[in-house]
C-alpha cells in the first residue's frame, strides 16, 4: 500500500511496483471515499474523471488482494492505521514547499481545481505562489500534510521523493529496493534498475518535470510557508528548516 503526501511521487512509486510485477488495482483510497480509475485512459485519469463513491478505508483496504497494490493519501485516523495493518505500507514524503508548488503546477496543467481562481491565469512568480497559498495553503497543511506526518512511525519503509530521483543510489532507496526485490525474487540491484526504467514516465499526476521552486520563491513566500507550519512539519518529517 502506497501511503503518500500529495505530490510526493505516488504514481512514480506505483509505476515502479508495476514494473516489478505487482498488479495495480487502479484504486485511490482515502479515509471515507474510493476513487476508481479502472478502464480509463491516462488523459481521463489526469483530469480526475475517476468514479468516486463513499467507501471507508476499513472496507476499501480489503479490495487489495495478494500481489496487488493501491495508493492513497490516507490519514492514520479515523480507521486508517487499523485498516492498513495487514498490508505492507510504504510512506512517501517530500519537502513540503516543493510538494505544494508542484501541486500548483499540476492543477494549472490539468485544469483541475477552481476554474476562477486568480492564481490559475498568473505566470509562475512569487505572486502566483502567494495567491495559491491564500486559497489552498491552510487546507493543504492542516488537512493533508499534518495528519500524514504520523505515518512515518508506523510503516515498513519511508521513501523520500528526493531520493527516488537521486543518483548515486540513496541509502533509503537501497533499503526499499532490497525490501521489494526480496518480495518479488529479485536482487536489490535488479529492483532498483526497474525504478530507473520508469523515471520520467508520464503518470496520472506527473507535471512534466521535477519542480524547481525558484520562479515562485521570495522571502515573503518563505515567511508565508513558515506561518502555515512548514518548519514544524519538516522537523517531524526529517527535513531541514527554512
Confidence (pLDDT) at 92: 98
Q: What is the pLDDT of residue 180?
A: 97
Whether 132 has a pLDDT exceeding 80, the answer reads yes
Q: Which domains does the chain have, with CATH numbers?
A: 2-237 (3.40.50)
| Rounded Cα gap, residues 136 and 154, in angstroms | 28
| Among 99, 93, 69, residue whose Cα is nearest residue 207 | 99
Q: Which is nearest to 242 in space by CA: 140, 134, 233? A: 233
Indicate if the pLDDT at residue 207 is higher than 80.
no
**Beta-carbon count within 10 A of 232 CB:** 14
User: Rounded to an integer, what distance in angstroms lies between the CA atom of residue 91 and that of residue 14?
Assistant: 12
Residue 55 has pLDDT above 80, yes or no: yes
pLDDT at 25: 98
Query: Is the pLDDT confidence value at 173 over 90?
Result: yes
What is the average pLDDT score of the chain?
A: 94
Say which residue, 51 or 206, is predicted with more confidence.
51
Q: What is the pTM of this model?
A: 0.94
Distance CA 197, CA 16 (A): 8
Cell of 176: 526499499
Residue indicated by cell numbers 519538516: 234
Of the pLDDT bands very low, low, confident and very high (cuts 50, 70, 90), residue 95 is very high
Q: How large is the average pLDDT for residues 70-85? A: 90
**Where do we find the cell 519503509?**
157
Q: How is residue 25 annotated by DSSP?
A: E
Count CB neighbours of 178 within 10 A: 17
Q: 33-36 and 23-29: which strand pairing?
A: antiparallel
For the segment 99-121, what is each residue's pLDDT rounded down to a tens digit? 999 999 999 988 888 888 999 99
Helix (H, G, I), strand (E, B) or coil at 82: helix
Contacts of 240 (CB under 8 A, 6+ apart): 234
Length of the chain: 242
Q: Which residue has the cell 500524514?
A: 148
* Banded model confidence at residue 208, pLDDT cuts 50, 70, 90: confident
- Contact (CB, 8 A) for 207 and 111: no
Sheet holding 68-72, edge to edge: 51-54, 33-36, 23-29, 68-72, 2-4, 90-93, 157-160
* Of 146, 122, 147, residue with least CA distance to 228: 146
Percent of the chain scoring above 70 in pLDDT: 99
Amino acid at each position: 500500500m502506497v501511503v503518500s503526501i500529495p505530490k510526493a511521487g505516488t504514481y512514480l512509486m506505483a509505476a515502479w511496483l508495476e514494473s516489478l510485477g505487482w498488479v495495480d488495482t487502479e484504486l485511490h483510497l482515502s479515509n471515507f471515499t474510493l476513487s476508481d480509475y479502472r478502464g480509463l485512459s491516462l488523459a481521463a485519469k489526469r483530469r480526475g474523471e475517476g468514479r468516486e463513491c463513499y467507501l471507508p478505508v476499513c472496507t476499501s483496504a480489503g479490495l487489495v488482494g495478494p500481489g496487488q497494490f493501491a495508493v492513497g493519501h490516507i490519514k492514520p485516523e479515523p480507521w486508517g492505521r487499523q485498516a492498513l495493518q495487514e498490508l505492507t505500507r510504504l510512506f512517501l514524503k517530500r519537502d513540503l514547499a516543493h510538494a505544494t508548488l508542484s501541486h500548483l503546477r499540476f492543477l494549472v496543467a490539468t485544469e483541475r481545481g477552481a476554474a476562477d481562481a486568480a492564481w490559475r491565469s498568473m505566470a509562475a512568480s512569487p505572486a502566483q505562489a502567494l495567491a495559491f497559498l491564500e486559497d489552498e495553503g491552510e487546507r493543504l497543511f492542516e488537512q493533508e500534510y499534518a495528519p500524514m506526518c504520523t505515518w512515518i512511525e508506523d510503516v515498513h519503509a519511508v521513501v523520500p521523493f528526493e531520493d527516488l530521483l537521486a543518483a548515486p543510489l540513496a541509502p533509503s532507496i537501497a533499503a526499499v529496493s532490497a525490501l521489494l526485490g526480496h518480495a518479488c525474487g529479485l536482487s536489490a540491484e535488479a529492483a532498483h534498475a526497474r525504478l530507473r526504467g520508469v523515471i520520467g514516465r508520464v503518470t496520472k499526476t506527473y507535471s512534466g518535470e521535477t519542480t524547481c521552486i525558484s520562479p515562485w520563491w521570495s522571502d515573503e513566500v518563505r515567511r508565508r510557508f513558515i506561518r502555515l507550519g512548514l518548519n514544524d512539519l519538516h522537523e517531524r518529517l526529517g527535513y531541514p528548516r527554512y
